[in-house]
Amino acid sequence: IPTVEGIYNISAGFEATEVYNSSVSEIMVLTVNPINDTHDTNFIVLSDDNYFDYFDSEGISTVLSPSGNYIIEIDEINNKNIQILSGFNITIRAKEGSGIINNGTIFVNGIDDDVESVIISGLTFNNTDDTAIEIGEYVSDINLTKNNIFVDGGSKSTGAYYSVYGINANGFITSMNIEDNNVTVVGTASYSYAIQLGAYDASSNPRDVIIKNNVIVMNGTARSGMIEGIYLDWVINALVENNNVDLCSINDVYVYGIQIADSSYLSIAEGNTDIMSPHNILITSNNFTLNSEYMVYGITVLDYGCDSSVNEYGQAKRNMLDLNTTICDNIIDAYSGRGLLGIVGNTYNMSVFGNNV
């Protein structure tokens, strides 16, 4: 586990190799397992014309094997979803020259039966209010790569807490790679998230997460609320690297480039003792351009250091973990009409160096 001089090396799909330079003394290695998409057990090209040959109106397959081992190539589908609720070695990818989903969501959820080794790649989502990709409990080895996501949020509701997402993951998720995607979220929704990994009510912490080389653009016109480029809650072992995040709001909206949050304190007190606070996180070489007429936060870390234990009053004990958070070599260019904080933390055991704010 890295100390102040430490750095993380995370390899997606390959054996991790140790890399050293003059400032590196220790290395943490995460590996997202390789996924083989050359299997030929099942292969379909999906369009509006044949959608109901394979899926029901809820997006659950009526034909494909529940155990997985299939490839779905998307031609173009409109106002239709795909739900993956079980199975291994599943690929959903773009048909060459197409791969368009208009007002549809791909759901991957292993709450009833584990889901493992999933690729979602090369697709173009054009959604109004609907999340493009949603990941739930008990999913492992999932790769979201080279997708183009556009979400226009706010037309379904003007409620004070209405939320929209580009990629929304929530639950006990292990080995997730989000890389080389373009995510754009616009509109009047009060709460907008490009990439969100939450964990409240999850059975355990999401862990071994890579968010790398993504381009995130958000332009909010809500009167109040929040815009967040990347939001991670409870995560253990995470690399956030080389993302370009450009966020703008014209009104009284909080803007967060990236936030590491910790709702474990409340969940442990409610009886979930299989979770703990986020730790082992590296945020490096990202570029943030942030604008709001209200408050702006570049990189925010809220971390109580809970290790699942409780005191005599049933409250989660704090400051129990070596958090090992590192924030280095990021660029933050921010404007606020009210006030801004470039890098802020309610935490401890955090290393911050080499940033340009």
Instruction: Note down pLDDT in tens along the chain; length 357 residues.
Output: 333 334 344 444 433 333 333 333 333 444 444 444 433 448 999 999 999 999 999 999 999 999 999 999 999 999 999 999 999 999 999 999 999 999 999 999 998 898 999 999 999 999 999 999 999 999 999 999 999 999 999 777 667 788 999 999 999 999 999 999 999 999 999 999 999 998 777 888 999 999 999 999 999 999 899 999 999 998 999 999 999 999 999 899 999 999 999 988 888 888 888 889 999 999 999 999 999 999 999 999 999 999 989 888 888 899 999 899 999 999 999 999 999 999 999 999 999 999 999
Q: What is the pLDDT of residue 24?
A: 34
Q: What is the pLDDT of residue 43?
A: 95
Q: What is the pLDDT of residue 313?
A: 87
Q: What is the pLDDT of residue 270?
A: 84
pTM value is: 0.88
188-213 in b/e form (b: 16+ CB < 10 A) is: bbbbbbbbbbbbbebebbbbbbbbbb
Q: What is the pLDDT of residue 87?
A: 96
Secondary structure E strands in 203-330: 207-212, 215-220, 224-233, 236-241, 244-249, 252-261, 279-284, 287-292, 295-302, 325-328
Q: What is the pLDDT of residue 157?
A: 67
